[in-house]
Structure 1
């Protein structure tokens, strides 16, 4: 009798979790898409929903994001663009820093691992070639998701004119006051002193001044941020990144988050949440055509999907060799030191042998079929068998992602100490 009571309580708890999960729509899908997935799954199982899942994965992989960065020459646009891409000026593909602006055309800079995501360096509106009315048209305004208007001192009349035109056309924009540490340095030279409290007071003075000037220009509550691109964890840089992500629809927001440099534990964990949402989709696709029995896993899995997903997770978490090499150079360390700090075999070659040997699917033993089904596919529920390819794939990818997140956090800790 007690066993039956425990079973009823367990199923009751599972039902509560299912109701809670179902109340939260997975961010990659519309409610209409979810309804179709559920209907197709109930009538034909996993094979029925694979085409829909593949289309969604293709949409995620091909999602474009274009961010325009504009401002007058010398305001630090190139340095800002490089910082947002996790690059410094010496890296291959970096935007040139400290040069006189000669181009009158938008210049696109793709993210190192996400070629469909580009920052665009736009010439300043103050150029004699452009009028306010012609600027956005010639800059191909419609292609950008939003605009970042950068100033190294006061925001100019041209900045205000541009912002008003962007607002009139229904696009979002953000004011960024760069090189803020130059102001703090000037304060110290003038004998401002006061240590940390003096800097805080000076920052508030600058902030109040900027808000006042932008208010008089017609922006009473502007999205305005004080930053120094070489010090991404300081001032308003973290708040700026959060605001930019929040301004995007769900799929583009996920692309933006994955493109961020690993500046904090919070960013790394946000990346983990975005990647976790892809696991159940990959798991559904993993069984079926192309899947083969894998010794040691007791299920037919598509090993290509498993290996490809782990490599993708690694790149998104800035743990691939190219990202680690750039980071090592910036922090004055060797790539070997960073890999040693990460302490993960997943930073080497990803093979079937490694997946089986490291027992990445072993945690499945501790997870019930009901719980795993609810966790990964809240709108489908516990319709997969305990030995299914779906659950094995979920387990392997979840464990791999967990290990890579931990490695990324360890690398961050080491580079912060170096900094």
Structure 2
């Protein structure tokens, strides 16, 4: 009995914290009966579950101010894309409508009903909209902000949450000016609009307001990128990471920010791999490592807008054939990720060398467990670091092809 207890104690100590003992037993059983294909779903689910923090962003303003188009732009969608928020000038709902990010569903943008009623009361409105669930509010207006916008901002501030003033459809204003004048100094005209908005808000009791001038149809122009930087800067570390990963690739800087965040994820994947590598069961660690690599690379591709759906949305936005964008991506990193695809990558040889030695040592329980944990961690870390570097470079090239930037 004593020997049995000692064995159980060792096994529990070696169990990776990412898995319960029941899950680990199921992984081992599934591997025995079905190999890699049978254990892969649970491993990939664990990878997906590593970050379940939600981010809820409220977008409010009168009907016709461009709330839906803004929500779509923040999600990298056009108004005509599947899953896009419906746009129009008529307010059709009295309830908030949530729109999930197309690849990171824990990020949601909420279209709140218009606030133009004469009987509007900010406190009651926020209660009805379930104020507490939102991380911050974006108050959108065209031309100038109304009394209701100001009352709402004051109430949001009183309740301790962040809000941002966004002046939308700035491209329409400039187009109107060009029809009236032969030459328009865009920079000067934008500054005049900004000063007018800030002065009026300050006069109504909003001290030192910041106003972002945007066009949701031109997210790479005006203050759209500056708005995203402002939102990012006011979030805590966890939610900041989620927000940045959910941003459409509007600039090379955004791609690099995503790269920096995903580098930290590599430690999580490598730790998961190292923990499973400590399980002394022939072939088990190699199978799990490949499952982790597949799940991680698929996740990286989604965050960097390199999955098929994201590439199609980008092609639509840029007015380019999706095939032209895909031509910049190496074949092994395009399409479905499989064990064969992992092995075809340039990093496959190193993976096989390390795992072959690991497989042999699995038959020696103590030595196999020690080497398994260390080699799995190192192999996964090196492979994913190389994969992330390649994918980041590809994302930059895809952007240049899409928008013909230098």
Matches within 5 A, 1:186-225: 186-191=176-181, 193-194=183-184, 198-225=185-212
Q: 2:105 aligns with which of 115, 119, 126?
A: 115
Alpha-carbon deviations, 1:179-201, whole Å to 9, x = none?
A: 1112211221221614xxx1101
Quick check: 1:86–1:260 contact (8 Å CA) kept in 2? yes
Cα distance in 2 for residues equivalent to 1:227 and 1:67: 17
> What is the deviation of 1:342?
3.0
| Cα separation, partners in 2 of 1:384 and 1:166, compared to 1, 3 Å | farther
Give unpaired runs (5+ residues) of structure 1.
1-43, 365-382
2:108 is paired with a residue whose SS is: strand
Establish whether residue 167 from structure 1 lines up as the match of residue 154 from structure 2: no
User: 1:177 is matched with which residue?
Assistant: 167
> What is the deviation of 1:223?
2.7
> What is the deviation of 1:332?
2.4
> What is the deviation of 1:258?
0.8
Q: What TM-score, normalized to structure 1?
A: 0.77
Quick check: 1:83–1:229 contact (8 Å CA) kept in 2? yes
Cα distance in 2 for residues equivalent to 1:202 and 1:255: 35
Give unpaired runs (5+ residues) of structure 2.
1-11, 21-42, 352-369
Q: 2:232 aligns with which of 245, 248, 251?
A: 245
User: 1:322 is matched with which residue?
Assistant: 309
User: 2:299 is matched with which residue?
Assistant: 312
Cα distance in 1 for residues equivalent to 2:282 and 2:344: 16
Cα distance in 1 for residues equivalent to 2:189 and 2:143: 14
User: 2:270 is matched with which residue?
Assistant: 283
Alpha-carbon deviations, 1:197-240, whole Å to 9, x = none?
A: x1101011111111111111112211310000111111111110
Matches within 5 A, 1:282-301: 282-289=269-276
User: 2:67 is matched with which residue?
Assistant: 77
1:101 is paired with a residue whose SS is: coil
User: 1:390 is matched with which residue?
Assistant: 377
Cα distance in 1 for residues equivalent to 2:52 and 2:221: 33
User: 1:150 is matched with which residue?
Assistant: 140
Matches within 5 A, 1:90-101: 90-101=80-91
Aligned length: 352
Cα distance in 2 for residues equivalent to 1:363 and 1:199: 55
Cα distance in 1 for residues equivalent to 2:240 and 2:120: 32
| Cα separation, partners in 2 of 1:190 and 1:273, compared to 1, 3 Å | same
Quick check: 2:16–2:276 contact (8 Å CA) kept in 1? no
| Cα separation, partners in 2 of 1:362 and 1:267, compared to 1, 3 Å | farther
| Cα separation, partners in 2 of 1:391 and 1:104, compared to 1, 3 Å | same
Cα distance in 2 for residues equivalent to 1:299 and 1:106: 47
Cα distance in 1 for residues equivalent to 2:144 and 2:350: 56
| Cα separation, partners in 2 of 1:386 and 1:123, compared to 1, 3 Å | closer
| Cα separation, partners in 2 of 1:174 and 1:301, compared to 1, 3 Å | same
User: 1:20 is matched with which residue?
Assistant: none
User: 2:334 is matched with which residue?
Assistant: 347
1:89 is paired with a residue whose SS is: coil
Quick check: 1:89–1:97 contact (8 Å CA) kept in 2? yes
1:112 is paired with a residue whose SS is: coil
Cα distance in 1 for residues equivalent to 2:331 and 2:85: 33
Cα distance in 2 for residues equivalent to 1:89 and 1:48: 45
| Cα separation, partners in 2 of 1:273 and 1:166, compared to 1, 3 Å | same
User: 2:8 is matched with which residue?
Assistant: none
Q: Which moved more, 1:301-310 or 1:326-335?
A: 326-335
> What is the deviation of 1:348?
2.1
Cα distance in 1 for residues equivalent to 2:95 and 2:130: 10
Quick check: 2:16–2:272 contact (8 Å CA) kept in 1? no
